[in-house]
Structure 1
Amino acid sequence: MFLFSYDHVDVSGSESSHHRIYLTVITVIIALFMLNLALVGFCVWRRKKRSSRSMSGMAISLTERRNDEGTEAKGLDLPLFDLGTVADATGNFSIESKLGEGGFGPVYKGKLEDEQEIAVKRLSKTSVQGVDEFKNEVVLIAKLQHRNLVRLLGCCIEGEERMLIYEYMPNGSLDSFLFDEAKGWLLNWPTRYSIIVGIARGLLYLHQDSRLRIIHRDLKASNILLDMHMNPKISDFGMARIFGGDDTEVNTMRVVGTYGYMSPEYAMDGIFSVKSDVFSFGVLVLEIISGKKNRGIYDSSRRLNLLGYTWSLWREGKGLELVDEAIGDSYPKAEVLRCMKVGLLCVQERPEDRPTMSAVMLMLGSDSALLPQPRQPGFVAMRGPLEPDSSTSKQDSLSINNVSVTMFEGR
């Protein structure tokens, strides 16, 4: 009886001890989890506060530089719009006014009291592009004025709102015509040639003729906007970089841009220069001629993308087979082949082999026979996910919602 009682007490004590240990462990785990959650919340709060402080500082800086009438920033020549004006112009950011959405956030069409139509890019709280890109675009594009660059009319920095106000482009982006079989026929060859020349002029201005030497770094069909007369205007300068002094190239660990338009040396090694934009321009030229996206598959046996497919046709003397069927049969063959040759010269693998944009402008008006022979393009074969040979999709095949890709690579 005594032994039974002793064993009973011992077992009960053991169970009680295990129970206490179990509770202690659970308590410690919960405490660590809550502490970790609090730390994450604190970091997020600090980041938002820092961004808000940065943008508030920017707003103050812009406000301080306003002239006596309070309408423009002296240093940036950039008007500041108040939130009420922008809200009224866009119907309080109504669904009906929404034009689309990209990495920056939603874009709305609006009309000011003077009947001027505007496009409003509203920075989303979940934007994959962010405050840095917003500031970059405000400071940079405000200093640029060219007929082939989209014009920034002003910005709105009020409370948590960050918005860029642009001139409205009634025909939208180039890709909405180029890669849509139902609308591609609206781009006849004279229009396409005019678009090629206009983009070239805009890039030449950025690289050589503006007060600043600027590398766009995200030149693509969706970043070419078309006005009511189908004149092209380069847009979206959030990723652009200013070259200072005698810099000819820069090495970066933060590679930004869109797959299919990136030059090999930039995508692989993080090295960018004016020749990076030249490569992107060459891709655009071949897309404009063909109505096809670079990242499609146009020779399944060799997995050739548009660059590889064009190169193959060119070497076989079949270059005209690349021409978009939507153009029809009536086009100046010599001019088309000259543009194709210029495009191939721009996408050569080695940056030193590619022409400058000033040379490109001369080439576009020269006899094709006088131009140098192009060498093999870079990235002639697909390395990423397959995309069918189709020109009907309006979506950028390289990212969701036309968001530019940002890659982080250790150097």
Structure 2
Amino acid sequence: MKKVCFLFVMLVLVNVNVKGLTPTLDDDVLGLIVFKADLLDPDNKLASWNEEDDSPCKWVGVRCNPRSNRVSDLVLDGFGLSGKMGRGLMQLKFLNKLSLANNNLTGGIGVNLGQLSDLRVIDLSENSLSGSVPSGFFDQCGSLRSFSLAGNKFTGQVPDSLGKCSSLGAFNVSGNQFSGVLPLGVWALNGLRVLDVSDNFLEGEVPKEIGRLYNLREIKLRKNQFTGVVPDEIGACALLRSIDFSENSFSGSLPSTLQKLSLCNELDFHGNLLTGEVSEWIGEMGSLQTVDLSKNMFAGAVPSAIGNIRSLKVLNISGNGFSGSLPQSMVNCENIQSLDVSRNALTGFLPSWVFQLGLRSVSFSENKLSGSVFSAVSSSVANSHQNLQVFDVSHNELSGEIPSDIGKFSSLRLLNMSKNSLIGEIPETIGKLKALSTLDLSENQLNGSIPMEIGSAASLKDLILSRNLLSGSIPSSIGTCSSLTSLILSRNSLSGQVPVAMSKLADLQYVDLSFNKLTGALPKPLGNLAHLVSFNVSHNQLQGELPAGSFFNTISPSSVTGNPTLCGAAVNRSCPTVMPKPIVLNPNSTGTDPESIPQPLGRKKILLSISALIAIGAAAVIVIGIIFITVLNLRVRSTMSRSAAAVPLSGGDYSSSHTTDTNSGKLVMFSGEPDFSTGAHALLNKDCELGRGGFGAVYRTVLGDGRSVAIKKLTVSSLVKSQEDFEREVKKLGKIHHPNLVALEGYYWTPSLQLLIYEYVSGGNLYKHLHEGEEDGNRSSLTWNERFNIILGIAKSLAHLHHLNVIHYNLKSSNVLIDGLGEPKVADFGLARLLPMLDRYVLSSKIQSALGYMAPEFACKTVKITEKCDVYGFGVLLLEIVTGRRPVEYMEDDVVILCDMVRGALEEGRVDECIDERLQGKFPAEEAIPVMKLGLICTSQVPSNRPDMAEVINILGLIKCPSEGQEESG
């Protein structure tokens, strides 16, 4: 440590730069040792850096100029270093390249690297650096050629001084949190070859000055908040190879000047608000390999000139309004591997050339294709069967039988032909698809039985055959599909028993056999399935007792209803007990057993059967149990009352009071010193209960100062973390403040009782405003502007949470409160963090009341749970607000999923059926329709297709009429 201090003093002396003074240590050695002193080197990668050396040129990661023997390159990529960048770097006066990528560096750029006049390359990417870039950072960047801060946490604006970097060839600040507009000077850097600012919060328009970037090869603006049109001047950037403007809010049509970019191989504009047609000029871009125009508002026919692009590998035009049929000329795209034209209005037959080109992925879902699948598949070339991995033609108007040739597609992983009009039987050749992971043939008119060969599809994870005309029994061979997680066979005419072989499917999570004709008893070994989340056998003819097991002991009654002879607690029907035969005297016995000795006449011997003894014993146990539970309940109630009344007071910022008495706990209020004891009785007072949710009950109580608060009494005590972890997480939540979030004001802890103290919101929850009073017509009548304001407020609250890396997990209308001014306040955010682990089974069981809001990735272990789960729930909630309908509605013989209902109605032009009847004639269609479309985009089955909440806010701002927006803002 003394050596480091000495070296630091020497560094200060060197910086004084007294004329004629020659330092006793080499400047580069001194600078690097001081730089190392600010770092942590867990893998000892810098062991060769020794302050006793006269030169650093042989140190690992260091390269010197052979002429001057001064350090020219410092490259420490992936060394696992942490700590901060210190001033030691400023001693490397002849440094040309600084690369510290893929480490764990923190802090900001505390040194002005721009003063190193010879520096040409700066790469600080993939660290955890934060803060803003100083405004004058680029004042002396005349030699800088390449600059990267990608994958960090920088905020603020990109400095205007960047425009002074006249020699800059590559600029990459992607994956940060930069905001504002890019400096106009950026568009004058005519030496720029690579410009990557993707994944930030940048805004504004792309100016026509982009045409000055004559040397530009790659421009990536993905996932920002850019608006306006794509300027015609982009066609002047003749050397462009890659254009990525995706996930912004660009509008207007694509400029025809793009056809001048003959060298361009990537064109990505997905996730914008682009309109118009894609004209024949696209065929002039003969070098294109990837074209992604998905999730826009393009219309018209797919241009036939696209067949001129022989190099095309990926074409994605999904989620638009393209019509007509795909051009036959596309048979010339001999290198194409992926084709996604889903969610358009395409018509005509399924083109046979799709199977002749050897594609790997094909999606025609949600169009209006008709005709037979059989003819298209059977006419394909034999050697093309080996490549196809994804084939999705769901939600069309296809007819005919599924061809047996489907079994030749040996690499197929996903086969989705659901929601068509297919007939006939499921071909036995399905069993030849050894790689198949998902098979969805639901909502067709398939008949016959499920082929026994299905068991040969060993990789199958999801088998969905619901809503067909299938008969026969469930094949026992299903037990060999060892990877199966979802088995959905509902609404068919399946008969026979549920096969015992199903109990071998250890990974099984979702089972739906409802609305069939299944008989017999459920196999007892099913109770051993440890990962079950849902098991629906309602509306069959099952009988006997439910299997024993942790899942079946708490199964929802709705999952077993409609089976008249099924018994067990879930159906509220006791099972008949098989009574053993009683012990009786044997009149022919000659033994000497006392019970075999005849009794005298007139004397009766009382004999108890085994069953009677068992019944008496059971009754005794029950009576004792009732007495024990009653006594225990009285003691607990008494303890809780004393605990609530004895809560010690504390005030100040995160102050607390500790007691060791088991009848008292620890109360922490984040501000103020309220008299809490006056509200303690409310914890056990049903009259003060406001509601109950997956994590606990909420009560209203009044503090000594007259202020009302809401207290959530957690009912997950057995799952809550330790006190230390609990308090750490709650304090994090207490620091989150936003006008549209319910503020957490404090907490109370004992090992058996945990309370969260929230601000009280007087207007009730959104669920009550939307749904309560439906039967008598006394529901609250929210205007369109009020609903839009609620949607926008919820979006802002979620964007704020996501900015802080907090996932809500439990978004639903009952967790959105309305204050006295009609503003929404989202409650219950982040409570899942109080559980010991974010386990999907625990989460889904705790928030199962959010049925319909939960994203589909909760059903898939392999998909990461991210903020996009909240986006899905927001999309459902948005549709609920607009339509006034619940996310899932159970009819007499059907289940209506809100997302599906809205999507179908919009596609068929039945907009009025989607809008809440209380708004009929009182809503602007030009706002309501885009809002519903936004909700459908947010509820995409694929998480990556959902927008971020920041994008949602931007889109909502564009949807709202400007004149009304001005009035409201005034």
Q: Decide: shared fold, TM above 0.5.
A: yes
Q: In structure 1, which of residues 175, 194, 197 is the aligned counterpart of residue 792 of structure 2?
A: 197
1:163 maps to amino acid:
L
Q: Deviations over 1:136-164 (max 9, x none)?
A: 87344213111111111112336854322
Which residue number corresponds to residue 275 of structure 1?
868
| SS state at 1:145 partner | coil
Q: State how far apart, in whole Å, the 2-side matches of 1:329 and 1:9 are.
A: 95
- In 2, are the aligned partners of 1:148 and 1:198 still within 8 Å (CA)? yes
Q: Among residues 695, 698, 701, which one is paired with 1:110 in the alignment?
A: 701
2:878 counterpart residue number: 285
Q: Indicate the SS of the match to 1:164.
A: strand
Q: Aligned pair 1:317/2:909, yes or no?
A: yes
Tell me the amino acid that sits aligned with residue 168 of structure 1. Y
Q: 1:164 to 1:192 in 2, by over 3 A?
A: same
For 1:284 and 1:93, the matched residues in 2 are separated by: 32
CA offsets 1:238-280 (integer angstroms, 9 cap, x no match): 64349xxxxxxx8845342322111111134474211111100
Deviations, residues 161-187 of structure 1 (Å, cap 9, x unaligned):
432221111111100011134454431
- The answer to whether the Cα contact below 8 Å between 2:691 and 2:699 also exists between their aligned partners in 1 is yes
Paired residue for 1:295, among 882, 888, 905?
888
Normalising by the residue count of structure 1, what TM-score does the alignment of the two structures yield?
0.64
Amino acid at match of 2:951: A
Give the 3-state SS of the residue equivalent to 1:265 in structure 2.
helix
CA 1:227–1:183: 2 relative to 1, 3 Å: farther
Whether 2:955 is the aligned partner of 1:349: answer no
Q: Does 1:236 align with 2:828?
A: yes
Aligned CA RMSD, in angstroms, stands at 4.7
Which residue of 235, 254, 257 corresponds with 2:842? 254
CA distance in 1: counterparts of 2:680 and 2:851, whole angstroms: 35
CA contact (8 A) 2:676 2:704 kept: no
Q: Which has the larger radius of gyration?
A: 2
Q: Cα distance 1:79–1:270, how it changes in 2: closer, same or farther (>3 A)?
A: farther
Matched, 1:130 2:733: no
1:262 aligned partner, one-letter code? M
User: Quick one: distance in 2 between partners of 1:310 and 1:13?
Assistant: 77
The change in CA–CA distance for 1:77 and 1:270 in structure 2 (over 3 A counts) is farther
Deviation of residue 293 (structure 1)? Answer: 0.4
**Cα distance between partner residues in 1 of 2:747 and 2:679:** 10
Equivalent residue, structure 1, for 2:368: none
Mean Cα displacement is larger for which, 110-119 or 252-261? 252-261
> In the TM superposition, what is the alpha-carbon distance from 1:99 to its structure 2 partner?
2.4
Letter in structure 1 aligned against 2:857: E
What is the identity, as a one-letter code, of the residue corresponding to 1:199? I
> Aligned partners of 1:68, 1:260: CA distance in 2, in Å?
40
Alignment partner of 1:164 out of 756, 765, 773:
756
Q: Residue 109 of structure 1 aligns to a residue in which SS?
A: strand
**What letter matches 1:100 in structure 2?**
G
- For 1:361-380, what aligned pairs fall within 5 Å after superposition? 361-366=953-958
5 Å-filtered alignment, 1:8-407, equals 10-12=592-594, 67=655, 77=670, 84-87=677-680, 90=682, 94-123=685-714, 127=715, 129-130=716-717, 132=719, 135=726, 138-157=730-749, 160-180=752-772, 181=774, 182-208=777-803, 210=804, 213-237=805-829, 239-241=831-833, 252-256=840-844, 257=847, 258-269=850-861, 271=863, 272-296=865-889, 303-366=895-958
Give the CA deviation at 1:122.
2.8
Q: Which residue of 2 aligns with 1:405?
A: none
Label 1:162 to 1:304 Cα distance change in 2 as closer, same or farther (>3 A). Answer: closer
**Residues of 1 paired with 2:693 and 2:671: CA distance?**
24
Q: Distance in 1 between matches of 2:675 and 2:750?
A: 7
1:272-317 per-residue CA deviation (whole Å, 9 max, x = no partner) reads 211111100000000000000010158x898542111100011112
CA deviation profile, 1:317-355 (whole Å, cap 9, x unmatched)? 223431101124122221111211110110011111111
CA, structure 1 residues 146+133, in 2 after alignment: closer, same or farther (shift >3 Å)? farther
Taking structure 1 as reference, are residues 69 and 12 closer, same or farther at Cα in structure 2, changes over 3 Å only? closer
What is the SS of the residue equivalent to 1:219? Answer: coil
Asked if the contact 1:185–1:327 (Cα under 8 Å) also holds between the matched residues in 2, the reply is no
1:273 aligns to what SS in structure 2?
coil
Q: CA deviation at 1:104?
A: 4.0
**CA distance in structure 2 between the aligned counterparts of 1:183 and 1:13, rounded to whole angstroms:** 75
4+ runs deviating over 6 angstroms: 78-82
What amino acid is the match of 1:194? N
* Equivalent AA in structure 2 for residue 340 of structure 1: M
TM-score, length of structure 2 as denominator length: 0.29
What is the aligned residue count?
Answer: 324
Secondary structure of the structure 2 residue equivalent to 1:163: strand
- Secondary structure of 1:214 counterpart: coil
Call closer, same or farther: CA 1:13–1:367 in 2, change over 3 Å.
Answer: closer
Question: Measured at CA, do residues 364 and 66 of structure 1 come closer, stay the same or move farther in structure 2, by a change above 3 Å?
Answer: closer
Asked if structure 1 preserves the Cα contact closer than 8 Å seen for 2:670 and 2:745, the reply is no
Identify if the C-alpha distance between structure 1 residues 193 and 116 changes in structure 2 by more than 3 Å, giving closer, same or farther: same
2:655 and 2:595 mapped to 1: Cα distance? 82
- 5+ unaligned residues in a row in structure 1: which ranges? 1-6, 16-21, 53-58, 243-249, 369-411
8 Å Cα contact 2:912/2:920 also seen in 1: no
- Please say if residues 873 and 939 of structure 2, whose CA atoms lie closer than 8 Å, have aligned partners that are also in contact: yes
Other structure's SS at 2:806 match: strand
- Cα distance in 2 for residues equivalent to 1:287 and 1:296: 11
For 2:958 and 2:950, locate their aligned partners in 1 and report how far apart those are by CA, in whole Å. Answer: 13
Distance in structure 2 (CA, Å) of the matches to 1:141 and 1:103 = 18
Conservation of the 8 A alpha-carbon contact between 1:104 and 1:130: no
CA separation in 2, counterparts of 1:287 and 1:110? 31
Q: Quick check: 2:733–2:830 contact (8 Å CA) kept in 1?
A: no
Residues 278 and 68 (structure 1 numbering): CA distance in 2 closer, same or farther, change over 3 Å? closer
Distance 1:148 1:118 in 2: 17
Secondary structure in 2 matching 1:115: coil
**What is the CA–CA distance in structure 1 between the aligned matches of 2:920 and 2:591, rounded to whole Å?**
97
What letter is aligned with 1:189?
W
Q: Distance in 2 between matches of 1:97 and 1:238?
A: 25
Q: Aligned partners of 1:293, 1:330: CA distance in 2, in Å?
A: 21
- Structure with the higher fraction of residues in helix conformation: 1
Seen in structure 2, the aligned counterparts of structure 1 residues 297 and 94 have a Cα distance that, compared at 3 Å, is: closer
What is the rounded CA distance, in whole Å, between the counterparts of 2:786 and 2:953 in structure 1? 17
> For the structure 1 residues 163 and 253, does the alpha-carbon distance in structure 2 shift closer, same or farther, using more than 3 Å as the test?
closer
**Kept in 2: contact 1:118–1:165 (CA 8 A):** yes
Contact 1:297 1:306 in 2 (8 A): no
Identity %: 32
Separation in structure 2 between the aligned mates of residue 323 and residue 316 of structure 1, nearest angstrom: 14
Partner secondary structure for residue 119 of structure 1: strand
Counterpart secondary structure, 1:156? strand
Secondary structure, aligned partner of 2:691: strand
